[in-house]
């Protein structure tokens, strides 16, 4: 009688690595997805010129308050649903599986836009740094491909390795951003610090586009539930990472954008930004003028590493969304596999890497502007997609807990979600009513980009809804597993057994 061959461990699995991330590590993924220096030194610095307002500090405050109110229900729902596809699974279980799959398709589009847009800013600033300091002239897309390779490799390693890299980069960045705030506030234009950027008069004419930029800046706050399957003490980790992440983001974004504008002169900021938009905006020239060349050099180096860290963070989030959809067979099942040694979502990571490479090559071949067209347009449009998901998730929280309170208090399961839904609806109306202004076009101007980005989300949502309905007819077991995360296989088996009994 022959003995069976020993079973060799598979190189793939259907589960993410468990218990590898504590609160600090999850916070790293949240904060580095919207790194402070990148947000103000690149996003806001470009936004001053494109949007034409200095009211970003107030916009950050308004959006942060709305997201904080939203987060009470979001965190409450995370206590009952653990899934790497957080928005997708919450919408599926709150508003129904078809809308959940529609939301999943929107999420894939949004996070890919956010991630690939960062390669434009990285290539732009890194190539400038090489030309200025090393006298090496290289096209932006060549440098962008170096970051692309770095992210591709790290995306397949253990998630805690990724978090340690992000922790070092974020720590250095927060220290330096604080130093820059001191420099700016110590050298205000006209001898006094203007508070005009905090007033509604500075914001009201461009509120919609400014809200879109601010929402883009806060993308990452929602990352904690995405990594919940890999987190230690899940409930405590998700709550602390979400609220602490929002607080740190608000403080750093508002203070730094206010300090920089006050230092260059609030009444001159927009004009300076428009004059220097093809050089990356006025943030670093002002920093050099007020703090010296060393400050500009240090800031540029950390900006480049900040963008790289954000690209890695978005890559991890996007790959996990694809993993969640593959595990539940909304996408082909191979997306639901992970590398056994690292626990990384292999197919999702490679898929995102391929998309990024295609976009970089396309923009390079077409000669499109890496800062305005790739970074700002794609990044802010990705932020708008996340805004749509936050709105849908806020509605989902209400419907989810109406059916069963699950021991949650009225504030978390009902009052806060209703307030957040109303506020988010207002913000969405402002954003879409002024979408052309967000991209830098005059009111009433006709350009394909003005409708193409919103249309892309509409198409993605419709495709997802239709696919869910088709899946319901083709394979009831897979349809029943939508949105259930790690429980998907169990439910699929139970559903099949019940069908056999009938």
pLDDT tens column, 432-446: 988 888 888 877 777
Q: Distance between CA 85 and CA 104 in Å, rounded?
A: 8
In a domain, 479, yes or no: yes
In a domain, 367, yes or no: yes
Q: Distance between CA 325 and CA 306 in Å, rounded?
A: 29
Per-residue DSSP letters for 230-247? GBSSHHHHHHHHHHHHHH
Cβ-count burial of 246 within 10 angstroms (0-12 exposed, 13-18 middle, 19+ buried)? buried
> Which residues does 235 contact at the CB level (< 8 Å), separation at least 6?
78, 79
DSSP letter, residue 282? S
Find out whether 64 and 218 touch, Cβ atoms under 8 Å: yes
Taking only Cα atoms into account, the Rg of the chain, rounded to an integer number of angstroms, comes to 23
In a domain, 99, yes or no: yes
Biggest distance spanned by C-alpha atoms of the chain: 93
- Domain residues for the domain of 241 are 20-501
| Residue 83 belongs to domain with CATH number | 1.20.1740.10
Q: Distance between CA 100 and CA 76 in Å, rounded?
A: 18
Among 258, 263, 264, which residue's Cα sits nearest to residue 203?
258
> Which residues does 497 contact at the CB level (< 8 Å), separation at least 6?
none
Q: Distance between CA 263 and CA 266 in Å, rounded?
A: 8
Token pair 């890559």 in the structure block, residue: 315
In a domain, 405, yes or no: yes
Among 200, 234, 216, 244, which residue's Cα sits nearest to residue 84?
234
Residue 338's beta-bridge partner residues?
13
339, containing H or E segment:
strand 338-339
The parts of the chain modelled with pLDDT lower than 70 are 1-34, 83-85, 158-166, 225-235, 340-343, 485-502
Structural domain count of the chain = 1
In a domain, 392, yes or no: yes
Whole-model pTM: value is 0.86
In a domain, 437, yes or no: yes
The confidence score (pLDDT) of residue 38 equals 85
Residue 231's beta-bridge partner residues?
21
Find out whether 479 and 97 touch, Cβ atoms under 8 Å: yes
CA atoms within 13 A on the CB side of 395: 16
Q: Give CA separation, 98 vs 288, 338, 435, in Å.
A: 53, 26, 27
In a domain, 60, yes or no: yes
Q: Distance between CA 153 and CA 353 in Å, rounded?
A: 10
Sign of the dihedral defined by the CA atoms of residues 18, 20, 24, 30, in that order: negative
CA 286 to chain centre: 28
Among 252, 206, 245, 214, which residue's Cα sits nearest to residue 227?
245
CA 226 to chain centre: 12
The confidence score (pLDDT) of residue 63 equals 95
Q: Distance between CA 21 and CA 151 in Å, rounded?
A: 19
Q: Distance between CA 489 and CA 265 in Å, rounded?
A: 59
Q: In this structure, how many other beta carbons lie within 10 angstroms of the beta carbon of residue 361?
A: 13
Token pair 């007033």 in the structure block, residue: 199
First to last CA, the chain: 41
* Residue 121 tokens, joined: 């800013």
Per-residue DSSP letters for 5-55? PPPPPPSEESSPPPS-B-HHHHHHHHHHTT-HHHIIIIIIHHHHHHH--S-
Residue 330 φ then ψ, to 5°: -75, -40
Find out whether 145 and 127 touch, Cβ atoms under 8 Å: no
Per-residue DSSP letters for 149-214? HHHHHHTTS-HHHHHHHHHHHHHHHHHHHHHHHHHHHHS-GGGS---GGGSHHHHGGGHHHHHHHH
Q: Give CA separation, 295 vs 72, 266, 354, in Å.
A: 39, 21, 36
In a domain, 209, yes or no: yes
């Amino acid at each position: 009688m022959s003995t069976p061959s020993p079973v060799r461990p598979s190189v793939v699995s259907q589960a993410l690595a468990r218990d590898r991330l504590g609160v600090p590590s999850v916070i790293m993924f949240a904060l580095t997805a919207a790194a402070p220096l990148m947000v103000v030194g690149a996003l806001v610095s470009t936004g001053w010129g494109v949007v034409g307002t200095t009211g970003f500090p107030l916009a950050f405050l308004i959006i942060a308050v709305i997201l904080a109110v939203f987060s009470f229900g979001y965190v409450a729902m995370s206590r009952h649903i653990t899934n790497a596809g957080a928005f997708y699974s919450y919408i599926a279980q709150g508003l129904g599986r078809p809308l959940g799959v529609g939301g999943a398709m929107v999420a894939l589009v949004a996070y890919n836009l956010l991630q690939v847009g960062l390669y434009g800013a990285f290539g732009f600033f890194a190539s400038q740094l090489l030309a200025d300091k090393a006298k090496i002239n290289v096209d932006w897309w060549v440098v962008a491909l170096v970051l692309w390779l770095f992210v591709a490799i790290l995306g397949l390693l253990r998630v805690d390795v990724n978090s340690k890299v992000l922790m070092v980069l974020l720590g250095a960045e927060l220290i330096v951003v604080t130093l820059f705030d001191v420099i700016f506030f110590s050298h205000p234009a006209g001898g006094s610090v203007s508070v005009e950027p905090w007033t509604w008069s500075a914001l009201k004419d461009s509120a919609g586009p400014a809200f879109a930029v601010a929402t883009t800046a806060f993308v990452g706050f929602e990352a904690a539930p995405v990594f919940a399957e890999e987190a230690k003490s899940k409930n405590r980790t998700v709550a602390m990472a979400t609220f602490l992440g929002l607080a740190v983001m608000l403080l750093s974004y508002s203070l730094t954008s206010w300090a920089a504008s006050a230092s260059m002169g609030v009444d001159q900021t927009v004009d300076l930004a428009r004059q220097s938009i093809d050089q990356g905006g006025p943030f670093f020239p002002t920093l050099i003028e007020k703090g010296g060349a060393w400050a500009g050099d240090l800031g540029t180096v950390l900006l480049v590493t900040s963008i790289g860290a954000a690209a890695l963070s978005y890559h991890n989030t996007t790959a996990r969304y694809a993993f969640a959809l593959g595990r539940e067979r909304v996408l082909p099942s191979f997306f639901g596999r992970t590398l056994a040694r690292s626990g990384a979502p292999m197919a999702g990571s490679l898929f995102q890497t391929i998309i990024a490479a295609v976009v970089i090559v396309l923009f390079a071949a077409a000669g499109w502007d890496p800062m305005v067209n790739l970074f700002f347009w794609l990044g802010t449009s990705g932020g708008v997609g996340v805004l749509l998901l936050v709105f849908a998730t806020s509605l989902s929280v209400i419907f989810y807990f109406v059916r069963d309170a699950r021991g949650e208090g009225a504030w978390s399961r009902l009052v806060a979600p209703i307030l957040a839904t109303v506020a988010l609806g207002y913000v969405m109306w402002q954003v879409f009513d002024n979408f052309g202004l967000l991209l830098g076009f005059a009111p009433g101007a006709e350009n394909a980009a003005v409708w193409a980005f919103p249309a892309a989300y509409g198409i993605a949502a419709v495709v997802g809804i239709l696919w869910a309905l088709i899946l319901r007819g083709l394979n009831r077991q897979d349809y029943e597993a939508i949105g259930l995360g790690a429980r998907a296989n169990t439910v699929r088996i139970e559903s099949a057994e019940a069908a056999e009994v009938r």
